[in-house]
Chain A
Amino acid sequence: MKQTVTSRVSLIYTLSVRNLWRQRRRNTILLVSVISAITGVVVLNSLVRGMQLQMVDQVVYNLNGHITLHAPDYRSDPAITRGFLEDSDEFAHKLESVNLAGWATRIKVPAVVMSERETRGVQIIGIDPSQEHISIVSDLRIEGSFLTDSTDNRIVLGRALLTQLRTKIGHRIVVVMQDSNNKSIEVGFQIAGVYDSNSEGMEKHVIFAGKHALQQFLKSESITELSLRFNTRLIPPGILESISQSFPNLEAVDWKNIDPILAFMYESVNAMVYVWLAIVFTALVFGLMNTFITAVLERTHEIGLCKSMGMKSSLVLYQVTTESLIIMFLGLIGGLLLSWGVLQLIGDGIDLSAFAAGVEMLNLAPKIRPAVVWQDVSIVVIATIFLALTASLYPAIRAVRLDPLVALRD
Chain B
Amino acid sequence: MATEILTLNNVSRTYGKEATQVHALTDVSLSINKGEFVSIVGPSGCGKSTLLNIMGALDQPTRGEVRFDGNSLGEMSRGELTDLRLQKFGFVFQAFNLLPVLTAAENVQFVLQLLGFSRPERQTETKEVLDALGLADVADRPATELSGGQQQRVAIARALVGEPALLFADEPSANLDSTSTRELCELIRQINTERGITIVTATHDPLVKGYTNRSIHLEDGRVVEDKSIP
Contact = CB atoms under 8 A, between A and B. Distances in A.
Interface of A: 3-8, 10-11, 14-15, 18-19, 21-22, 301-302, 305-313, 315, 404-405, 408
Contact of A11 (B59, B89, B113): B113
B37 interface: no
B111 interface: yes
Interface centre among B59, B86, B113 (most CB of A within 10 A): B113
A310 B102 contact: no
Contacts of A14: 102, 106
Interface stretch (B91-99, B126-134, B172-180): B91-99
Given A3-B116, A404-B58, A305 B97 contact: yes
Nearest to B112: A7
A308 B58 contact: yes
Contact of B82 (A19, A302, A307, A408): A307
Contacts of B89: 310
Given A312-B82, A405-B59, A306 B116 contact: no
Contact of B114 (A11, A18, A22, A404): A11
Given A11-B114, A309-B91, 17 more contacts: A3-B116, A4-B116, A6-B118, A7-B116, A7-B118, A7-B119, A14-B106, A19-B101, A307-B82, A309-B110, A309-B111, A309-B158, A310-B82, A310-B86, A313-B79, A313-B82, A405-B53
A63 B14 CA distance: 87
B117 to A, nearest CB: 6
A15 B99 contact: yes
A408 B93 contact: yes
A127 to B, nearest CB: 74
Contacts of B114: 8, 11, 309-311, 315
Contacts of A21: 101
A11 B100 CA distance: 14
B161 to A, nearest CB: 11
B67 interface: no
B113 A405 contact: no
Given A7-B113, A15-B99, A310 B58 contact: no
A93 B23 CA distance: 96
A401 to B, nearest CB: 11
A5 B53 CA distance: 29
Contact of A310 (B100, B111, B118): B111
Interface centre among B53, B82, B112 (most CB of A within 10 A): B82
A317 B117 CA distance: 21
B113 A10 contact: yes
Contacts of A4: 115-116
A408 B97 contact: yes
Contacts, number: 78
Contacts of B113: 7-8, 10-11
A305 B99 contact: yes
B85 interface: yes
A203 B23 CA distance: 95
Contact of B99 (A302, A312, A313): A302
A405 B115 CA distance: 21
A308 B94 CA distance: 14
B187 to A, nearest CB: 20
B33 interface: no
A7 B117 contact: yes
Nearest to B84: A310
A397 to B, nearest CB: 15
Interface string B50-69: 00010000110000000000
Contacts of B119: 7, 10
Given A309-B114, A311-B82, A312-B79, A18 B87 contact: no
30 contacts: A3-B118, A5-B116, A6-B118, A7-B112, A7-B115, A7-B122, A8-B114, A10-B113, A15-B99, A15-B101, A15-B102, A302-B99, A302-B100, A305-B97, A307-B82, A309-B91, A309-B111, A309-B158, A310-B83, A310-B85, A310-B86, A310-B114, A312-B82, A313-B78, A313-B79, A315-B114, A405-B53, A408-B58, A408-B93, A408-B97
A310 B97 contact: no
Contacts of A18: 101-102
B85 to A, nearest CB: 4
B174 to A, nearest CB: 14
B43 to A, nearest CB: 20
A22 B101 CA distance: 7
Contacts of B112: 7
Contacts of B115: 4, 7
Contacts of A305: 93, 97, 99
A7 to B, nearest CB: 5
B58 A309 contact: no
Nearest to B158: A309
A310 B106 CA distance: 16
- 4 smallest CB-CB distances across A and B, nearest first, come from A310-B86, A4-B116, A18-B101, A11-B113
A311 B78 CA distance: 12
